Structure 1
């Protein structure tokens, strides 16, 4: 008998990642398949759900033929995926249109409609363009003939799981990101939906570790898998990313820097309904745990843009090396990372980025330093607020692009004034999905026990109080950038429409 393993499948924005993990937490295989992004008009961001399915199937084939996977028995599968996206199905279960993604900002008018009726917050969350309710209203108002055919809506990873099982479900961590699920009662607020003309097109909601069907028989036969292999519900990418980093108990925190950036803190269910300040309140993939989350829309995206334009022939390592050499503050330079608007704390789709303090003596290394610091300041904005409402955050697990550089990890420790923990093996949300499958199979008595086996840390970066005080002085100037540039950047956007 070969090794027993579970699969975690993460549907990202740029790629699908598949991860095979053994019962003892050993990573056996990894496979990534790229995805296309469609941005037909400014502010639009869509993907083809059928391309997701094709990429998943190709990824499964490519993963299972890897030499190290020979003899491995796949005992369970689970999912994580990009949040907020809208997949509309007709009565036959086919997608009616491309999926509208989390970073699509076309729904500002729908946000204004919701705010006029319900105020700045709905069910503990700020009314912002990313959430699924705004997308449902956009389709209803702009594609009425298509809207009439809508029978069910799903979140992105739930559509992938449906392709694998033929069963339609969502789960609490993703449903809580729609602006239609009450995170305290864990039930759809259908009365709220009715206020905005949303019919009963809601999927059933189950726990993240619940079984949601079994493997498609035809695909299982093609792959050499058992058609009775259980498929578990899974979770939203931020919830699974936290789980896959061991962030599952009250006051556990994670800083994740991908395309967007997230500062996430766990708390027990039963807290206040909302915290204001554009902080999100959502259900974790762990039962009886919520999390509070601040979001920077253009975190890693800012760095990728900067490298593409200013370091096209150099590596990220070279860019960060020059950033480190520049020193704190990049010789008087501040960067506001609002390339695609901002979520926390401003909730403004129209704000755009800026460099402030440019002089003729600035080098490209200074600019690189400003970008890294600006991204970190944006996440610090959320941390300051959460500390102000009583969250005692002194230790943070760092993941994503910000965790690939010891320089940036130390910078996070100094800016946040917190210990920063580096994972030994960082597999992101796909690891959280794999853990949900392992727990769902009964391999471990709890997700905490699973985390003890699966999650390990290597280094801890401790804050330097002197450097923290210096960063605080720059942060106070950074904090003024939003108000100082808001009107100007909005006017510039209007000029582009002429």
Structure 2
């Protein structure tokens, strides 16, 4: 097996991971990145900072692990999705990249989001997607829009520097609202609606395919071999799926980070835009994936931690190892609005059933149950054909065995926890680089990491949590009526 390199461009850092011939992480380096917020709802990043960060991590790996870096045969890329990187005729950026969490294009997104767009793209056109951002630039920065030669996603700007090629992969392109997601091709109609054409778009490849080779000058500068293959790569969640072996229907991963993600591959294309489920192409040819998102998962525990002035691990650890039956107290975790299935930016969270005897433990359990129910919402919103029989747990929240056991029961799905190690997007990117360099089938490369622990649904508690979930579901309509801003506001 070849030595490979994964480059994961995150919002807050760029991480490089060398994976050895045994398929295990060998060396890593990371470089911090900053985000600029020049106005309310804006979130931008200087594309040149990605190049500076990549230069830094490659130089560090060359100095500390030169022999390993020199053995690299394939490079894979992963990156935060939806960012609008506008390129001029000189292939330099025309303005800062408008990031995934930028909401300035809400009006343009609402205008684009109709039955035609959902039919073509398989998704709601969210303000964070790339297409509405270009409409915003055309309306507010016409002098820049007129100079746009190409629109690249963040990791693809890094690719341009690495290879000289304007290329994107299917999984990342599916988050632009310009891709015909079922056909895995650019949509001329959606491009036309934003006054663009195919000439502005990068060439498309699958995540496992070669997109180009490393520039000779960069290879010489950083001590890599000539002609190293650079794979198509993936958007960050699809790359994470590759890193934890979620590469075929019936598998999936549950991410309990600040936000929560339920990711399940599908052999067919089964969009469900009205449920606010994302239906994107997987990085693996012939597969798609559905992704439900709850905006406050571990973030809800962080909030409670700040409120009660006790560390999250202390709050969850005090519950012990045995999952208690659901109580009367309910928590709706809509601290930052909600994505799946409500697509409601205005909704906010609430405790229901507080009483004089409510304790810290009661509140902690209710918060964890509320997040579990929100992930159940994501599960119910997806297509039945995409249901996973096993979910791999990742993210900070996966450190709580109590929460994983609770999740297994609420989702009625086996959940497994990988052994300690780096099984994230950088590893997935490196695996995609291996496929591109060797031509190996994805199924033989995207294997599941060693498992430390397995959590099975508690059959004796399934009915009780099903009743609690029904009460949870009944609260949203009433809460929405109370928390919507008034016209005067």
TM-score, normalization by structure 1: 0.89
Question: What is the aligned counterpart of 2:408 among 392, 399, 413?
Answer: 413
2:395 and 2:211 map into 1 onto residues whose CA distance is 29
Offset, 1:40: 3.3
Q: How does 1:457-468 map to 2 (within 5 A)?
A: 457-468=451-462
Question: What is the aligned counterpart of 2:425 among 429, 432, 452?
Answer: 429
Offset, 1:10: 1.1
Q: Which moved more, 1:390-399 or 1:184-193?
A: 390-399
1:341 matched to 2:340? The reply is no
Offset, 1:49: 1.7
Q: Secondary structure, in 3 states, of the residue corresponding to 2:446? A: helix
1:470 matched to 2:464? The reply is yes
1:484 matched to 2:478? The reply is yes
Corresponding residue for 1:102? 100
1:316 and 1:383 map into 2 onto residues whose CA distance is 26
Q: Which moved more, 1:375-384 or 1:481-490?
A: 481-490
Corresponding residue for 1:45? 43
Q: Summarize deviations over 1:107-145 as a string: whole Å, max 9, x none.
A: 221122123573765521123222211222222222222
Corresponding residue for 2:288? 290
1:125 and 1:369 map into 2 onto residues whose CA distance is 34
Corresponding residue for 1:208? 207
Corresponding residue for 1:386? 382
Corresponding residue for 2:441? 446
Are the aligned partners of 1:330 and 1:365 in contact in 2 as well (CA < 8 Å)? no
Q: Summarize deviations over 1:93-116 as a string: whole Å, max 9, x none.
A: 111222222222232211221235
Distance 1:322 1:54, change over 3 A: farther
- Structure 2 portions without partners, runs of 5+: none
Offset, 1:327: 6.1
Q: Secondary structure, in 3 states, of the residue corresponding to 1:139? A: helix
Offset, 1:286: 0.6
Corresponding residue for 1:235? 234
1:333 and 1:121 map into 2 onto residues whose CA distance is 40
Distance 1:406 1:494, change over 3 A: farther
Question: What is the aligned counterpart of 1:366 among 362, 365, 378?
Answer: 362
Q: Summarize deviations over 1:154-207 as a string: whole Å, max 9, x none.
A: 111111222222221101111111111112211100122213323441111112
Q: Secondary structure, in 3 states, of the residue corresponding to 1:126? A: coil
Q: Summarize deviations over 1:328-369 as a string: whole Å, max 9, x none.
A: 478543332223322211112222333333334333443333
2:233 and 2:52 map into 1 onto residues whose CA distance is 20
Distance 1:59 1:67, change over 3 A: closer
Offset, 1:419: 0.6
2:308 and 2:87 map into 1 onto residues whose CA distance is 43
Are the aligned partners of 1:330 and 1:366 in contact in 2 as well (CA < 8 Å)? no
1:203 and 1:297 map into 2 onto residues whose CA distance is 31
Q: Secondary structure, in 3 states, of the residue corresponding to 1:460? A: strand
Corresponding residue for 1:256? 255
TM-score, normalization by structure 2: 0.91
Offset, 1:294: 1.1
Corresponding residue for 1:223? 222
Distance 1:143 1:307, change over 3 A: farther
Q: How does 1:10-409 map to 2 (within 5 A)?
A: 10-66=8-64, 73-115=71-113, 118=116, 122-199=120-197, 200-269=199-268, 271-274=269-272, 276-311=274-309, 315-322=311-318, 328=324, 332-386=328-382, 389-409=384-404
The aligned length equals 487
Are the aligned partners of 1:29 and 1:68 in contact in 2 as well (CA < 8 Å)? no
- Structure 1 portions without partners, runs of 5+: none
Are the aligned partners of 2:120 and 2:180 in contact in 1 as well (CA < 8 Å)? no
2:152 and 2:452 map into 1 onto residues whose CA distance is 38
Q: Secondary structure, in 3 states, of the residue corresponding to 1:276? A: helix
Offset, 1:150: 1.2
Q: Which moved more, 1:325-334 or 1:406-415?
A: 325-334
Offset, 1:152: 0.8
Q: Summarize deviations over 1:43-86 as a string: whole Å, max 9, x none.
A: 32222222222222222233344469668622221111111221
1:6 and 1:265 map into 2 onto residues whose CA distance is 26
1:124 and 1:86 map into 2 onto residues whose CA distance is 20
Q: Summarize deviations over 1:235-283 as a string: whole Å, max 9, x none.
A: 11111111111111122221122333211221113x4454631222211
